[in-house]
Structure 1
Amino acid sequence: MLIEGKFAMKAPLQKVWDFLLEPGTLASCIPGAEKMEAVDDKTWEGIVKQKVGPISVKLNFTQTLSDVQPPKHLKAVGRGSAMGGAGTFTQETIVDLKEIAGGEVEVAYSSKVNIVGRLAVFGERIMRAKVKKVGAEFTSNLQKKLESQVGG
């Protein structure tokens, strides 16, 4: 599944970049995030709780920054599994920041998510809707937090 989006906000580019690399701050934007801890300067581990159809799952995951070009581009790859064997997932996310007119920064992102196991049994349509919903909530939360903490 591919999820893409972008939004603009009034803030200095470097502040937006620094914000994106704060694991505790990002965790507070992820719907259902219960934990996110830095392993090192490029790797985070966490737990996210989600409900998909009749199944409620906790997902353990590891996220690693694999391509970082400050302050404009980052690529993160992740993998994880649902506690109780409900499935596994991999994801690759790219975030690009660009200064645009009026002192604004455009935040553009794309994320490829692959899910296998019992979670995938619900079919791509249900999983795509769930992933899009979580992605939209994350983006909304991120935008609000960015505007309140680093917005100019």
Structure 2
Amino acid sequence: MELTETQMLPLAQQRTWDALNDTDVLRACIPGCESIEPDGEHAYLVVLSAAVGPVKARFKGRLQQTDIDAPNSYNVVFEGQGGAAGFAKGSARVTLEPDGDTATKLTYTASAQVGGKLAQIGSRLIDGAARKIAGEFFKRFGAQVAGVGEGEGEGDGEGATTADDDEAAATEAAPPNTESTDAADAESGGDAPKRKKSWKAWISKF
């Protein structure tokens, strides 16, 4: 399997690099990731659950970064075991290029080999699953890095705005309700004499 993709990320190059080396960020962004822990210099132990076609398994693997040129590029060598599901191993080249001061173009080229049940389900399913996982990772990663340093302040502001809007809406809603009640009372009061008169007119017929 070979996979090449380019992603535009809304963050400066150095901050993107830092996020790619932050285990908390990676844990939140890798689909199905249960844990990711340092295992020596520039290496990580990863546990994740994944489904590739009809094959679902819990994989335990190791990632090793090599040829590091911070904050521009690095290689990743990975291998993982999924029990009866089989194994996967391969490598990827990741490069970062600044796009102005507030955005970064990330390009990666990955190649992998699989064995066991994974090797029996066909390359198209494997490629499709890999692209889906990669797409979900970068979707989460983009959202994660976009919120760095902004989430708490914006969240509080949005919460306050929502509360104010709700209070204002309730205040604005009160007059129409009062008017509706008054209108209903007036209508009821207006109808009462008419109904009384109609009753008398009906009685007078007998």
Q: Same fold (TM over 0.5)?
A: yes
1:57 aligns with 2:57: yes
Give the whole-Å Cα distance in 2 for the aligned partners of 1:133 and 1:10: 21
> Going by fraction, where is strand more abundant, 1 or 2?
1
Match of 2:106 in 1: 107
Q: Tell me the secondary structure at the aligned position of residue 57 of structure 1.
A: strand
Amino acid at match of 1:21: N
Identity of aligned residues (%): 21
Q: Unpaired runs of 5+ in structure 1?
A: none
Give the whole-Å Cα distance in 2 for the aligned partners of 1:134 and 1:82: 16
Question: Alpha-carbon deviation of 1:129?
Answer: 1.1
**RMSD between superposed Cα atoms in Å:** 1.7
Give the whole-Å Cα distance in 2 for the aligned partners of 1:8 and 1:117: 35
> Going by fraction, where is helix more abundant, 1 or 2?
2
Give the whole-Å Cα distance in 1 for the aligned partners of 2:11 and 2:97: 11
Q: Tell me the secondary structure at the aligned position of residue 18 of structure 1.
A: helix
Question: Alpha-carbon deviation of 1:8?
Answer: 2.0
Q: 1:41 to 1:117 in 2, by over 3 A?
A: same
Higher RCO structure (Cα 8 Å, ≥6 apart): 1
What do the CA deviations read for 1:32-74 (whole angstroms, capped 9, x no partner)? 1111111123110011101223332011100001110011011
Give the whole-Å Cα distance in 1 for the aligned partners of 2:7 and 2:149: 15
Q: Tell me the secondary structure at the aligned position of residue 149 of structure 1.
A: coil
Question: Alpha-carbon deviation of 1:101?
Answer: 3.4
Match of 1:143 in 2: 142
Question: Alpha-carbon deviation of 1:118?
Answer: 0.8
Structure 1 segment 72-83 matched on structure 2, within 5 A: 72-83=72-83
Give the whole-Å Cα distance in 1 for the aligned partners of 2:138 and 2:79: 20
Question: Alpha-carbon deviation of 1:103?
Answer: 3.7
Match of 1:93 in 2: 92
Aligned length: 150
Give the whole-Å Cα distance in 2 for the aligned partners of 1:75 and 1:101: 24
* Alpha-carbon contact 1:15-1:150 (below 8 Å) kept: no
Deviates more, 1:136-145 or 1:5-14: 5-14
Question: Alpha-carbon deviation of 1:122?
Answer: 0.4
* Alpha-carbon contact 2:56-2:85 (below 8 Å) kept: no
Q: Tell me the secondary structure at the aligned position of residue 29 of structure 2.
A: coil
Amino acid at match of 1:139: F
Q: Unpaired runs of 5+ in structure 2?
A: 151-206
Match of 2:12 in 1: 12
Q: Tell me the secondary structure at the aligned position of residue 63 of structure 2.
A: strand
Question: Alpha-carbon deviation of 1:131?
Answer: 1.2
Length-normalised TM-score, structure 1: 0.90
